[in-house]
Amino acid sequence: MMTSVKTPTTAARRRAAGRVIGFLALCFGACLFIFPFYYMVVGALQAEPDPGISGAFPNPNELSFTNFHSINERVLLLRALFNSVVYTAGVIGGTLIIGILAGYALSRLRWRGRSLVFNLVLLTLIVPFQLLMIPMYVLIVRGWGLADSYLGMILPFLVNSTAVFIFRQFFMQLPEDMLDAARVDGAGELRILTRIVLPLSRPAILTAALITFIGPWNEFLWPFLVTKKAEMQPLAVALANYISAVAASTANPFGAILAGAVVLAVPPAVLFVIFQRYFVESETSTSLKE
C-alpha cells in the first residue's frame, strides 16, 4: 500500500522565501541602526584614536576608561550629570502633573469651550520653540531674575502639549459608567482622578514620562542661554563647551567627545528598552479615534 507525500505548493514556497528575505532585511536594517551606537561606545573605550574601519573591531585588551577620566577632569562630568538629572526630573514632574489635570479636564469634565481649548493645545504643537525663546528669556531671566537656576531652566517646559494629548486620549477610553458610579457614591472629581483614573493610567504615564525625558535631557539652546556658571550647566551644554574650547588640548579628543556622548545617550536608550512594552501599548491605544 503506497502512501502519498504532500509536496509544498509554489505559493507556500514563495511565502516561506518572502519570510526569510523579510527577516534578513530586518536584521540588516537593525545592524545599520545599531552600528553608530556601537561605534560610539567602542570609540569612547579606545585609548588611542582609530577613525578607520578597523577601529570598530579593536582588540579587547586595548579598551580602557581613559577617555572618561579625561573628560571628567575638564568638565566636571558628575556635576553636569547631576544638573541634567535635576533639570529633567523637574520637567517630567511638572509635565505629568499639568498633563494629567489638563487631560482629565479635556476628556471627562463638561464645560463650555472644551473643544476650542483642546484645538488650541494641538495648535501649539506647530509653533517652533525658537519663536518663543526671546520673550521667555526676557521674562524669566531679566524679569524674574532666574538665571543660573534650576527653576529658570524648567519653567518653559512645564506644559507639554504632547503629554496633554496622550492623557486626554487615554482618559477618553475609560468606561463612563465606572466614573458615574463613583460620582453617585459621592466621590468628587479629584478623588475619582486620584483613586480610580490614575491607577489605570500607568501605560500613559510611562509613555508621557519617556517622551518628556528625551526633550530636556538633550536640550542645549535654552540651558545654554540661561546658565552662565559652569557648575549649573547640564550635560549637553557642558559637552558643547568642552568640544568648542577644551577637546583639542586632550591626548585623544575624538575618544573624549565620544565618551561624553555615551554618557548623554545611554540613559534614554536604557529607559526605552526597559519601558518599551508600556510605550508601545500606550501609543497603540492613544492612536484610536474617539
Q: How is residue 175 annotated by DSSP?
A: -
Q: Please, which residues have CB within 8 angstroms of residue 254's CB and are 6 or more apart in sequence?
A: 43, 49, 51
Residues 8-24 have pLDDT tens digits of: 577 788 888 888 898 89
The pLDDT score that the predictor gives to residue 272 is 79
The pLDDT score that the predictor gives to residue 261 is 84
pTM above 0.85, yes or no: no
What are the grid coordinates assigned to 237, written together? 551644554
What are the grid coordinates assigned to 74, written together? 575638564
CB 150 within 8 A of CB 87: yes
Number of CB atoms found within 10 A of residue 41's CB = 16
Q: How is residue 155 annotated by DSSP?
A: G
Mean pLDDT for all residues in the chain: 82
The pLDDT score that the predictor gives to residue 97 is 93
Q: Please, which residues have CB within 8 angstroms of residue 151's CB and are 6 or more apart in sequence?
A: 90
The pLDDT score that the predictor gives to residue 286 is 47
Q: Which domains does the chain have, with CATH numbers?
A: 86-233+272-286 (1.10.3720.10)
What are the grid coordinates assigned to 73, written together? 577632569
Q: How is residue 5 annotated by DSSP?
A: P
Site of grid cell 531679566: 142
The pLDDT score that the predictor gives to residue 151 is 92
Intervals of the chain under pLDDT 50: 1, 4-6, 286-290
The pLDDT score that the predictor gives to residue 95 is 93
- How wide is the angle at C-alpha 265 spanned by C-alphas 151 and 57, nearest 5°? 160
